[in-house]
Amino acid sequence: MARAFRVFVVTTLIGLVAIGFLAFKFFTYPERFSGTAQGHVEFTVAKGASAGQVAANLGRTGLLQYPTLFRLYAGQRGAANRFKPGRYEINAPVTPRALIDLLVKGVVDELIAVTVPEGKNMLEVAEIFGAAKITNAKLLAAKGMDAAFARTLGLPGLTVEGYLFPDTYKLAAGTDPEKVLVTLVRRHREVYEELRAKHADDLAALGKLLQWGDAEVVTMASIVEKETGQPHERPRIAQVFINRLTLPTFTPRLLQTDPTIVYGCTVAPKFLGKASDACSKFSDRIRRIHLEDKDNPYSTYAHEGLPPAPISNPGREALEAVMKPDGTNYLYFVSRNDGTHVFAASRADHEANVVKFQRGGKALSNSAVP
């Protein structure tokens, strides 16, 4: 009996000491630095991650020594289900209490500024956001070419082309592609509505003259945007194209703009699912077979009027140029090779400009001059 009593006392004391030690460990645990990590450590809490998963990952990154104890401590504080997803930058070593406070508070994702220039097509826009690490470029392009998604945004075409407004945006890394596109389309609508209010009478006149709605205005603006980088030229170039579509002396009503051929050969086949035979031979240069290619639906050399949809994403000035063109009677323009253009009202004057600025004084052949 005496021996058994002594064993009982000893084991009880050992148990009490152990319990005391564990209690000490638990109550002092929140304020003790642990883990092997030093300096800045990036740590991500995935959406829907449990406290056990977060604790295990903290242990693997060297921020914690006892993940199980951390999970118990988080439960005791009522924080186990309150960790906010996100990407954290943690300065190690760090105490469990500080970790809990940080994970419960969450982080404001670092926003990345990215600028979309005027005149880029939707595939180029996708590459811009991909290069900035905001989203996956391929997924963004695929979503942009999804006709069902375009319909959910109330857009008139098969894609989001024309409605990704050129501007500077600030978005977090890892933003969902759909959210990126919605943000850009929303900005387009904001600017377009501002311009609509400003040019209500001009838009009404344009609608009466050509039976155009908003979709046609955006499509024409996308062409104007590709034809010049000079803001002061845009209203004049817009007028040239409108003249080609309305003046009775100009037939057939061909806009004859090279960027429409390029778009029809390089971008459109990706969402139309096919390319014309001529486009399959396209590299970086427009040839006679491309000018005569009626199987390219975007070609304004082979088809009268506007292409079926925008060929780029126009900015404010291009949209405004179409709404309020300059009223001149020009029908032609040719590059001066310095970023600007010279305009002509007659075919003869245009051909003279081509000889002067494009052929170095060499006379034209009998072939037609666009």
DSSP per position, 61-98: TTS-S-HHHHHHHHHHTT-TT-PPPEEEEEEEEE-HHH
Class of residue 147 by CB neighbours under 10 A (exposed 0-12, middle 13-18, buried 19+): exposed
Residue 164 lies in a domain: no
CATH number at residue 97: 3.30.1490.480
In which band, very low, low, confident or very high, does the pLDDT at 8 lie, cut at 50, 70 and 90? Answer: low
Question: β-strands 111-115, 168-172: how paired?
Answer: antiparallel
Does any domain span residue 89? Answer: yes
Q: Torsions phi, psi of 258, nearest 5?
A: -55, -40
Classify residue 66: in a domain, yes or no: yes
CA distances from residue 103 to 54, 70, 78, 174, 276 in whole angstroms, order as listed: 10, 12, 13, 19, 55
160-201 confidence digits (pLDDT tens): 999 999 999 999 988 999 999 999 999 999 999 999 999 999
Residue 263 structure tokens: 């778009």
Report how far residue 319's alpha carbon sits from residue 279's, in angstroms, rounded to the nearest whole number: 29
Q: Please check whether residue 152 lies inside any domain of the structure.
A: no
Domain range enclosing 65 = 29-105
Classify residue 305 by its DSSP letter. S
Residue 32: pLDDT over 90: no
pLDDT at position 22 over 80: no
Q: What is the CA radius of gyration of the chain?
A: 33
In a domain, 59, yes or no: yes
- The number of domains in the chain is 1
3-state DSSP assignment of residue 335: strand
Residue 86 counted as domain residue: yes
Find out whether the peptide bond into 156 is cis, omega within 30 degrees of 0: no
Chain segment 225-282, per-residue pLDDT in tens: 999 999 999 999 999 999 999 999 999 999 999 999 999 999 999 999 999 999 999 9
202 falls within a domain = no
Residue 95: inside a domain: yes
Instruction: Output the pTM of the full model.
Output: 0.75
120 vs 130: CA distance, rounded Å: 14
The predicted pLDDT at position 14 comes to 62
